[in-house]
Structure 1
Amino acid sequence: MKDANKPGTSARNKANYLKAKEAFNNKEVDKCILYYAPNHEVKSRQSEKGREGIRKFLEGMHQTWPDIQITVEQAVAEDNWVMGRSIATATHSQTVLGVPPTHKKITASFWDLHLFDENGLITETWNLMDNLAIMQQIGLLK
């Protein structure tokens, strides 16, 4: 990417990452996906490419976990990369992994790595969620 070392690129990308998380927390999916490039691709799992793919993912998260909130604990930016460590908190109010709602507050850590383009839009994403913690908290595992 031609401007990867341009002054301010890392700060801009980190700010866009944080703005996308804020829009997600506010259930502003239309606003959130504007931080993703039209050709965005999730690399950590098979999914539909492009903004429609990320839209389906974000809307699905809000459907499964209606009160989900993401707290970014750390975000580190270097050139066109931003890595975040976050805590997701939500109430288990929908059936998840076949487990009926327990109405317990669920907390799980996740990490995400994003590659940004020269316009400050996310082009590639890798996610890692602590699914074991979720399964334990909803009672699927003891």
Structure 2
Amino acid sequence: MDRAKRNKQNYLDAKAAFNARDLDACVAFYAANHRVVSARPQGDAAPSIRRFFEETIAVWPDIQISVEQAVAEDDWVMGRSVAVATHSNTVMGVAPTNRRIESAFWDLHRFDADGRMVESWNLMDALSIMQQLK
């Protein structure tokens, strides 16, 4: 399997592991020195990505991610996904409505020679989330 295909499969497998709530398997697709480039520095990489996933699941317990498109080239994978969850906890100061919230997001990852993500850029449609919370 060539590098781009392997990286794309690892990206898809990481999303599947997240959906299955197997955070150990999910985090294993991230290099120890992984960093989120689109966010403020958060210290040690592996605990930070795990903490991000744990906090996301705490706020959105039933969140599921559907990868709509994923494109791979060399060490890069770009994905467009849709996240769906129930508004069952207070989010952005808004009390739970128990409505289904759906939002698109895009993520770009650079992979190392071992097929693990070392850098990530994320863009979420926060406005659509805020509009649905009303």
Match among 37, 41, 54 for residue 43 of structure 1: 37
C-alpha deviation, 1:71, in angstroms: 0.2
Residue 91 of structure 2 corresponds to residue 96 of structure 1 = yes
Partner of residue 110, structure 1:
105
Distance 1:49 1:137 in 2: 34
Instruction: Count the aligned residue pairs.
Output: 133
C-alpha deviation, 1:42, in angstroms: 0.3
Q: Deviations over 1:10-43 (max 9, x none)?
A: 0000000000000000111111000000000000
Contact 1:42–1:125, Cα closer than 8 Å, also in 2: yes
Per the normalisation by structure 1, the TM-score is: 0.92
Distance 1:23 1:32 in 2: 5
Contact 1:17–1:82, Cα closer than 8 Å, also in 2: yes
Q: Deviations over 1:20-77 (max 9, x none)?
A: 0000001111110000000000000113341100000000110000000000000000
The 5 Å alignment of 1:65-104 reads 65-104=60-99
Amino acid at match of 2:116: L
Per the normalisation by structure 2, the TM-score is: 0.97
Distance 2:37 2:68 in 1: 23
> Cα RMSD between the aligned structures?
0.8
Q: Mean Cα displacement is larger for which, 39-48 or 130-139?
A: 39-48
Partner of residue 8, structure 1:
2
- Between the two proteins, what is the percent identity of the paired residues? 56
Gaps of 5+ in 2: none
Partner of residue 18, structure 2:
24
C-alpha deviation, 1:9, in angstroms: 0.1
Q: Deviations over 1:88-137 (max 9, x none)?
A: 00000000001000000000000000000000000000000000000000
Distance 1:74 1:115 in 2: 17
Gaps of 5+ in 1: 1-6
